[in-house]
Amino acid sequence: MTTAESFTPAARVLRINESPSTAAAARARELKAQGRDILDLTVGEPDFDTPENIKQAAIEAIGRGETKYTPVNGTPALRDAIVARLAQHTGITYGTDRITVGGGAKQIIFLALMATVDTGTEVIIPAPYWVSYPDMCRANDGEPVIVPCPREDGFKLTPERLSEAITDRTRWLILNTPSNPTGAAYTESELRALADVLLAHPHVSVLTDEIYDEVWYEQTAALSIVSVEPGLKDRVLLVNGVSKTYAMTGWRIGYAAGPAGIIAAINKLQSQMSSCPSSISQAAAAEALSGDQTFVAESVAVYRERRDRVIGLLEKVPGLSCTVPSGAFYLFVGCEGLIGRRTPDGRVLDTDQDVTLYLLEQGVAVIHGGAYGASPYFRASFSTSMAVLEDACGRIAAACAALT
């Protein structure tokens, strides 16, 4: 008889880690439950409520009895809304057979790698990276090829570094623009330069994660590589979703547009994994994409105010430095000036993880840069109230002042 004690996870489980951002958020919740006064800047989700028109669309769908299975790749109404949204934002028109819908952008990315990565397949991942990319690759027997992208390059991949990283085993380049954790985004000329390298290597496809493209602070819209070089359309899987833009993280709807073969493979896997996404969430997502967009502009204005306030406060703290993000709701804070200093109880801060643990002791939860493949930094989310952010910055300043 099999017991819990005799259970051994498969190798694919043993070679990956729990998501560091999920673990950090869980630790913050645990400390709060113990009565600790913790200001949580780990969470990567909007603190706003889902807009009323979106919630109402879900309620009306329930009333109409839309509570059954849907097509594996999403309802026609949602796919039509995605096609229209992509045409508006990228200038590229996709057929509905080139659209897939899943339980969040995260699931879509995992399924895309599952569908295309074999043992030894290489996936180029610029660092800093979203914490899940390398482990998703490893879980599917692939080899993540981490390419450091330093602050002096804007935390962005250069064509030279891309060219050096490509081998005959390269299957994917993952681009995350705007980026989690840095908020950096590629300009038209930067995407053009990357596209030129890719055109010379036709065996390399691009998975472009654009989940933050509407949480955007610049005057001109965020760009997609497929807009800059439409000739890559049949080699680009464009991934997005409704979680970040519309404060719908719990609704779990993501989508992708790309080559028919990859989309069909993702759909085949999903047919065996989850059958289809939630029908009710799909109705809500269709309204999010095609309905009133007032919420988007209003929420971004609030994020911008918070961003500027936090940067203003942290830039005054000796030992810390900030790069202004073009999108998303994170600051990737440089803490090199704190490395080597001592806490009041005599401990030396040797790494950015030491820094984040010290800040946690002072009541502020952030995530160390090493989790994103870049040190010494920490990520702080500003998707929380201004009062919490100002209090957190005050605690960080006091903690840094106490170091010797």
Residues 218, 303, single domain; the answer is: no
**Residue 336: CB partners within 8 Å, gap ≥ 6?**
319, 321, 376
Domain boundary among 235, 268, 290: 290
Based on the domain organization, do 323 and 257 belong to the same domain? no
Residues 250 and 348 both lie in one domain: no
> Are 181 and 254 in a shared domain?
yes
Name the token pair of 32: 């709060």
Does 315 map to a domain? yes
Whole-prediction pTM: 0.95
Residues 123 and 211 in one domain: yes
User: Greatest CA span in the chain, whole angstroms?
Assistant: 65
The reply to whether 367 falls in a domain is yes
Give the pair of three-digit tokens for residue 78. 């949602």
Strands 170-176 and 122-127: parallel
The whole-angstrom distance between residue 149's C-alpha and the CA centroid of its chain comes to: 17
Range of the domain at 184: 67-290
Please tell me the total count of domains within the chain: 2
The CATH code of the domain that includes 257 is: 3.40.640.10
Closest CA to 330 of 372, 288, 373: 372
117 and 230 in a single domain? The answer is yes
CB of 395 closer than 8 Å to CB of 39: yes
Are 252 and 316 in the same domain? no
Distinct helix (H) and strand (E) counts, the chain: 14, 12
φ and ψ of 117, to 5 deg: -105, 130
Same domain, 13 and 81: no
Q: Yes or no: say if 44 and 388 are a contact pair by the CB < 8 Å rule.
A: no
Q: How many CA atoms lie within 13 A of 251 on its CB side?
A: 30
Residue 5 has a pLDDT of 65
Q: What is the pLDDT of residue 1?
A: 45
The pair of three-digit structure tokens given for residue 203, joined into one six-digit string: 């065996």
Regarding whether 372 and 354 lie in a shared domain, the answer is: yes
Between the alpha carbon of residue 191 and those of residues 128, 162, 198, 208, 294, the distances in Å are 18, 12, 10, 11, 29
Distance of CA 352 to CAs 149, 150, 336, 369, Å?
18, 16, 8, 7
CA dist., res. 364 & res. 359, Å (int): 5
Tokens of 84: 């229209």
Domain boundary among 274, 290, 306: 290
Rounded CA-CA distance 174/144 in Å is 10
pLDDT at residue 33, as a whole number: 87
Where among 234, 258, 290 does a domain terminate? Answer: 290
Give the pLDDT confidence score for residue 21 in this predicted structure.
Answer: 72
Burial classification of residue 119, based on how many CB atoms lie within 10 Å of its CB (0-12 exposed, 13-18 middle, 19 or more buried): exposed
CA dist 18 and 16 (Å) reads 7
Q: Is residue 81 part of a domain?
A: yes
Looking at the structure, tell me whether residues 308 and 273 fall in a common domain.
Answer: no
Closest CA to 115 of 271, 225, 240, 303: 271
Tell me the two tokens of residue 28: 């913050």
Q: Are 270 and 100 in contact (CB under 8 A)?
A: yes
Q: Does 221 share its domain with 168?
A: yes
In this structure, the answer to whether residues 75 and 151 fall within a common structural domain is yes
Instruction: CATH number of the domain at 26, please.
Output: 3.90.1150.10
The reply to whether 61 falls in a domain is no
Q: What is the pLDDT along the chain (404 residues), one digit of tens a residue?
A: 455 567 889 988 898 888 777 777 788 888 888 888 999 999 899 999 999 999 999 999 999 999 999 999 999 999 999 999 999 999 999 999 999 999 999 999 999 999 999 999 999 999 999 999 999 999 999 999 999 999 999 999 999 999 999 999 999 999 999 999 999 999 999 999 999 999 999 999 999 999 999 999 999 999 999 999 999 999 999 999 999 999 999 999 999 999 999 999 999 999 999 999 999 999 999 999 999 999 999 999 999 999 999 999 999 999 999 999 999 999 999 999 999 999 999 999 999 999 999 999 999 999 999 999 999 999 999 999 999 999 999 999 999 999 99
**Which of 329, 310, 136 shows the shortest CA–CA distance to 321?**
310
CB atoms inside a 10 Å sphere around CB 343: 18
